[in-house]
Structures are given as structure tokens and as C-alpha cells.
Amino acid sequence: MSTPTLRVGLIGYGLAGATFHAPFISTTPGLRLSAVVTANPDRRGQVAHDHPDAEILADADALWARAADLDLVVVATPNRSHVPLARAALQAGLPVVVDKPLAATAADGQDLIDLAAARGLPLTVFQNRRWDSDYRTARRLVADGALGEILRLESRFERWRPTPGTGWREGDDPADAGGLLYDLGSHLIDQALHLLGPATEVYAELERRRPGARVDDDAFVALRHAGGARSHLWMSAVAADLGPRLRLLGDRAAFTIYGLDGQESALRAGRLPVGPDWGREDSERWGRLTTDGASRTVPSEPGAYQDFYAGVVAMLRDGAPPPVDPRDAVAALTVLEAARRSAAEQRVITLPAGASH
């Protein structure tokens, strides 16, 4: 007897929906993209071209009316709508994947977790950068003990975009959770907490460097972790010369790698995430392990965004844990809020025990 395919409703077909969600939903065994919600005429045409078997709906209410025909909802919309749409999906009796950040505040994120628990429904968050090649390689080295005790993580998402954009990410309404701290910091902080454990102290510097910028476009966050390690995290739109993507310092060795994981550029180019070469980095992009002044290249783990949606299938079919625990997203939001407070008050913020765990 064959296992029924899980039917997915996707809300939003902008960059997140079209590039980071639909390709994986449509290629993950066990999932089928059944419906897409978008009112934009151009995007409706794009959906019809990319996924001709998917029903195209003008608004979320039309999706809720078809709740009985769905097994999962994916929220891939602007940040301010994450909470109301996820709440509506849960109230309609549907499991939910929410793009990062889960919410604009830790309190709102926790409310969603509480609602999902009360309804007995799975909830998870698309923290896809846990499956970046560079981060997966760093995790492997830590697990193997190649670096010894970890002393410091240095991690960067830097860009050269000297002119501010016009979208919601550049808006200063707190409900939009705009700016680089929330956009890129959501990934960096999630990786730091995932790798090194909960944070006990947060220090941050948030700047608006570009003429006309309304939100932070150059940021630095420093964390002290409960285990004693520190994380130094940079996110910038004004970096004309990019630093290392990741540098991990241990008491036995260091690991350094440059360049961004190639999965995003492949997706933006229209490549589907299939085949044995998906996520593999060329050897010239591998990082290096340095011990006592001697360095050697380290083969990179393949990037594997597809593993997130494979985990969603296991969560829905087998009752497996979610691929990303939503409590991890609330922990990261707690750190993000502390970072904003630190920058505003120009001081280190001490987190209560368990606040970022």
C-alpha cells in the first residue's frame, strides 16, 4: 500500500516562496505543491509557468476554505504577516512551516508555540542556513574534536549594496522586523546558538551607514555562551571587501572558510535542488584547518537545504521531531531583542538563565 502524498499550501511567491520553498516542496519525495497564494498578477503567471498543477489562490481565506484538502501550510510572506498567517493556519487545523524569523518578538513566537501545542499540531521554522556547506563542515569538525575546545566563532554575512532598497526589509516600522540584524542576524545567531549553546551575554552595535537608510545596514553582535565560548557576528551591506565567511578557533586548531554557500545562487539561477552534485562546493572553495602554523584544506560537506523538507515529511508522517525546534527560533529572537537593546543603551545585556535555550 502506497503512502499518500502530503499536500502543501504555500502562502507567498516572492523571493522566499518562489526561490527557497517551492523548488524543495516540488522535488521532495512525499510532498506535492497543491496551492499557492499570491494576488500579484506577475507572480500568478510565474506560478502557472513553474508549477502548472498547483491551484493559484488570491488570498489566504481561500486557502483556509480548502483546509481539508491540505496537510501542511508554508508561510513565505513578509515578516509582519508571519504570526497572523501561522496562527490562522493552526486554527484551521494545519501544521505550519514559517520562514525565518518566526515572529518580530520572542513573545509572539512563544504564543505561536503555545497555540500549536494546544492544537496538537507541528510547527517548525525555515532556518535553512543550518544546512549551508560551510556550517555543516564546521559542525562536523566540532563533532570530530578536530578543533579541541571551541574558544570563538567568527561568522559573517557581508554584502556590497551601497544604495538602500525600497522594500519592506528597508522599512523602519517595528512590525516589519526590517534591517540586517533581523534579516541576516536571524541566521547567524541561530547558527551560533545551535553550535555553541545558549548565550548569557549580548553586546551589539547597529549602524545606518548608507545615505537615506532607515534601518540598520551594518551590524556587529558579540555573544558569550554558557559554555564559555564567544561568538563575534558581522552583517553588513557596506562591505566592499568581504571577510571570511566563518572562522572557528579552538584550543587545538582553527578552521577558516571564505565565500557563501552556493545553494542560493543556484536556486536564483533557476536550478532545481536535485541530483548528486547539488550543494557540492568546488575544491577551490573548501576551507582550511590550521594547527601549529601548518594548514591543509578540508573537504566541504555538501550543502543540503533539501534535508529541511525531508525532515518535514518525517515530522508529519512519522512523528519525528521538527527539523528546526521552534523554541530555538524564540531563543534567537530573545538574543535579537537583547542586541537591539544593547545597541540602544550601549551596554552589555545579561540574559536570564535559559532565556536563549
Output the domain CATH number for residue 274. Answer: 3.30.360.10
Q: Are residues 152 and 122 in the same domain?
A: no
pTM of the full predicted structure?
Answer: 0.95
- Within a domain: residue 29? yes
Q: Are residues 45 and 119 in the same domain?
A: yes
d(CA 227, CA 192): 12
pLDDT at 3 over 90: no
**Number of structural domains the chain divides into:** 2
2 pLDDT tier (thresholds 50, 70, 90): low
Give the pLDDT confidence score for residue 172 in this predicted structure: 81
- Within a domain: residue 308? no
Q: Are residues 191 and 298 in the same domain?
A: yes
pLDDT at 36 over 90: yes
Q: Are residues 122 and 159 in the same domain?
A: no
pLDDT at 339 over 70: yes
Q: Are residues 163 and 55 in the same domain?
A: no
All residues at 6 or more sequence positions from 238 whose CB lies less than 8 Å from its CB, including other chains: 160, 161, 162, 209, 210, 217, 218
Task: Please provide the average confidence, as pLDDT, over all residues in the chain.
Answer: 96
- Between 134 and 176, the more confident residue is 134
Name the DSSP letter for residue 346: T
Q: Within 13 Å and on the Cβ side, how many CA atoms surround 327?
A: 9
- Within a domain: residue 312? no
List the domain range (segments joined by +) for residue 179: 130-303+334-350
Q: Are residues 247 and 185 in the same domain?
A: yes
Q: Are residues 38 and 158 in the same domain?
A: no
All residues at 6 or more sequence positions from 16 whose CB lies less than 8 Å from its CB, including other chains: 76, 77, 99
- Within a domain: residue 317? no
Question: What is the rounded average pLDDT of the residues 99-118?
Answer: 97
288 pLDDT tier (thresholds 50, 70, 90): very high
Question: What is the rounded average pLDDT of the residues 350-357?
Answer: 80
The answer to whether the beta carbons of residues 133 and 27 sit under 8 Å apart is no
